[in-house]
């Protein structure tokens, strides 16, 4: 499968995240489409590797996102946890901005 439309550019303000569900080779994939504080785009799994809750409901600061339930933070570029209690990374997906469309490929991870 190739990159698919996740959202439009205007749907995500800098410093925020949007939960989307995309169709992967193995079924639905929950993705957090994130614009960091600098306005750069990222796509990571929306599911925290520790608490199984939505990361898109957490706070975005610089190039990190914080899980709202237990406070783990994840690097948006690598998916690596930067604060406990999470110890496992979350998948990071390739994201492309094409005009006003945001495209994500959930069948490829950039941190595999």
Domain CATH code at residue 16: 2.102.10.10
Q: Within a domain: residue 40?
A: yes
The two three-digit tokens of residue 77, written as one number: 């570029």
Stretches where the chain sits below pLDDT 70 are 1, 112
Residue 26's domain spans which residues?
Answer: 4-104
Question: Residue 63: exposed, middle, or buried by beta-carbon count in 10 A (0-12, 13-18, 19+)?
Answer: middle
Tell me the pLDDT tens digit for each residue of 51-68: 889 999 999 999 999 999
Distances (CA, A) of 6 to 22, 71, 104: 7, 26, 6
The predicted pLDDT at position 1 comes to 58
Q: Within a domain: residue 22?
A: yes
Q: For a pLDDT cut of 70, what percent of the chain falls above it?
A: 98
Q: Within a domain: residue 109?
A: no
Report whether 46 contacts 30 (CB < 8 A).
yes
Q: Within a domain: residue 63?
A: yes
pTM above 0.85, yes or no: yes
State how many domains the chain has: 1
Q: Dihedral sign, CA of 23, 53, 111, 63? A: positive
């Amino acid at each position: 499968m190739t990159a698919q439309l996740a959202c439009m550019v205007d749907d995500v303000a800098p410093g925020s995240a949007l939960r989307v569900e995309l169709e992967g080779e193995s079924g639905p994939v929950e993705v957090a489409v994130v614009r960091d504080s600098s306005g750069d785009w990222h796509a990571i799994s929306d599911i925290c590797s520790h608490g199984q809750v939505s990361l898109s409901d957490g706070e975005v600061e610089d190039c990190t996102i914080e899980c709202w339930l237990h406070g783990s933070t994840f690097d948006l570029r690598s998916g690596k946890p930067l604060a406990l209690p999470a110890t496992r990374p979350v998948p990071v997906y390739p994201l492309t901005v094409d005009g006003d469309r945001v495209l994500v490929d959930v069948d490829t991870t950039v941190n595999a």
